[in-house]
Amino acid sequence: MSTTALEENAMGALENVIDPELGIDIVNLGLVYGVDIDDNGDTKVTMTLTAMGCPLAGHIEQDVKRALADLPELNEITVNIVWNPPWTKDRMSRYAKIALGIPD
C-alpha cells in the first residue's frame, strides 16, 4: 500500500475519534493538521485542540492511538499537539458546521 493510501486510511480511522465536548469527530472539526507515515510505518499525527488547556487532551490522544492501532501497517504512533496555527471554526467541514448549527 502506498504511503498516500495509508495516510488516507489513517485519516479515515481518525474520523472515529469523537471530541467528547462537541460530539463531532476530530477530522471534521479540522483538528488534524496532518498524518505522516515513514517507510517503517512509524506514524506522527499533528493536531490541535479547540482550546489550550483542554482537560480532555490526554483522553483524545489515547483515542487517536487506539483508532490507529487498528491499522496493522502502522507501528509506533506519536501524537504531536500544536497550537500554531491556531484552530478556528473555519477549519471545520461543512458537515461539522451543520451539525453544530454554525453558519457557513
- Which of 78, 8, 85, 86 is CA-nearest to residue 40? 78
Predicted local confidence at residue 44, as pLDDT: 97
Q: Is the pLDDT of residue 3 over 70?
A: no
For residue range 23-42, list pLDDT tens digits in order: 999 999 999 999 999 999 99
Rg of the chain (C-alpha set):
14
Q: Which CATH architecture has domain 3-84?
A: 2-Layer Sandwich (3.30)
Q: Write down the domain spans for the chain.
A: 3-84
- Which of 33, 39, 40, 44 is CA-nearest to residue 78? 44
pTM: 0.91
Kindly list the distances between the CA atom of residue 98 and the CA atoms of 2, 24, 26, 95, 101, in Å, as whole numbers in the listed order.
33, 11, 15, 5, 5
